Structure 1
């Protein structure tokens, strides 16, 4: 248990810096990860590339909102925190789904702990991660059964690849938790893997935030608050 608590603590510390990193820098780091993965798993590298490209259209830009009293209002996205990805299936399509979820969670600004007994996949991903420019502890790779202990920590997103039956069990575990509501992104159709092909997958791992900046002397454009004038 102590070991998993330490992993979560390391992941949370890494998230605080990663979440403040601008989108272009995150994208560059993940492209380096994709290039390293390309050497051993080109099909999986293509999955990484796809979700970086899709996330760029969704998350890269800050949106300007209306400022009724002269202020600047901005809408932007941020990662939720530590995401746990659970892989409970070993076929090739499951590997694609796992890589899609891992990439979407990372590009959205989260850190990831992958719980899997697929040693071949974990080793390929970890090797590519070490060769890339991704920060330390941003992605961690542990055994499948570690997720039971990790759910006792303050994880903010959960992704699952496997069967409907285990998905239901995980859902019940999430309902019993106290604290923040944890979103669950599941891939249980391991033939068509629709979630892995979803161009909006990154949106399942973000939270929306607004930033208001007063750009006039007293909190806005005071002339817009005028109650009357000589013509009234």
Structure 2
């Protein structure tokens, strides 16, 4: 149990810095992971490339909102925290789905702990990770059964690839947790892998935030909030 607590703690520390990194820099780091993976697994590298491209249209820009009292309001996205991705199938299709969730979670600003017993697959991912410019402890690999303990930690997103029966048990475990609600991204159709092909997958791993700056005066211009006058 202590080992998994330490693993989570390291992943959380890595996330805090990664989450403050701007999108372009995150994208460059994940692209380096893709380029390293391209040397041994071009099909998986193509999955990484696809989700980087899709996320760039969804997450890269900060959106300006209306400022009713003269302030500036900005809408932007941030990572949720530590994401746990669980691989319970070792087929090629399952590997593609795992890589899609791993990429989407990273580019959205999360750290990732992958729980898998697919030894050769994990070896290739670890080698590509070490060759990339991704920060230390941002991606960690654990055995499949480690997810039971990790889900008791303060993880904020969970991805699952496998059969519906295990998906149900994970959902039940998450529903009994106290604290923040954890989103479950689940791929159980391993023939079509619709989640892996979802162009909006990165949105499943983000939280929206707003930034407000008063630019007219302390507290803004309250006169702009007037709804009527004596003549109305």
Measured against the shorter chain, the TM-score band is over 0.9
User: What is the rounded CA distance, in whole Å, between the counterparts of 1:169 and 1:228 in structure 2?
Assistant: 56
TM-superposed deviation, 1:106 = 0.3
Unmatched 5+ stretches in structure 1: none
Contact residue 187 and residue 195 of structure 2 kept, 8 A:
yes
| In the alignment, structure 1 residue 73 sits paired with structure 2 residue 73 | yes
Partner of 2:57: 57
Contact residue 34 and residue 45 of structure 2 kept, 8 A:
yes
TM-superposed deviation, 1:218 = 2.6
Deviation per CA, 1:148-201, whole angstroms, max 9, x where unpaired? 110111000000000001100111111111111111000000000000000000
- TM-score, structure 1 length as denominator? 0.96
Partner of 1:197: 197
Q: Secondary structure of the equivalent of 1:40? A: coil
User: What is the rounded CA distance, in whole Å, between the counterparts of 1:49 and 1:144 in structure 2?
Assistant: 26
Task: Within 5 Å, give how 1:1-232 maps onto structure 2.
Answer: 1-225=1-225
Q: Secondary structure of the equivalent of 2:86? A: strand
Contact residue 68 and residue 225 of structure 2 kept, 8 A:
no
User: Size of the alignment, in residue pairs?
Assistant: 232
Report runs of 4+ in structure 1 exceeding 4 Å deviation: 225-232
Deviation per CA, 1:82-136, whole angstroms, max 9, x where unpaired? 0000000011000000000000000000000000000111111110000000000
Deviates more, 1:172-181 or 1:59-68: 172-181
TM-superposed deviation, 1:224 = 2.2
Shift in alpha-carbon separation, 1:37–1:227, aligned structure 2, 3 A: closer
TM-superposed deviation, 1:221 = 2.5
Deviates more, 1:172-181 or 1:136-145: 172-181
Deviation per CA, 1:207-227, whole angstroms, max 9, x where unpaired? 111111100123213442569
Unmatched 5+ stretches in structure 2: none
User: What is the rounded CA distance, in whole Å, between the counterparts of 1:225 and 1:176 in structure 2?
Assistant: 44
Shift in alpha-carbon separation, 1:160–1:226, aligned structure 2, 3 A: closer
User: What is the rounded CA distance, in whole Å, between the counterparts of 2:104 and 2:76 in structure 1?
Assistant: 17
What is the root-mean-square deviation of aligned Cα atoms in Å? Answer: 1.6
TM-superposed deviation, 1:228 = 8.6
- TM-score, structure 2 length as denominator? 0.96
Q: Secondary structure of the equivalent of 1:109? A: coil
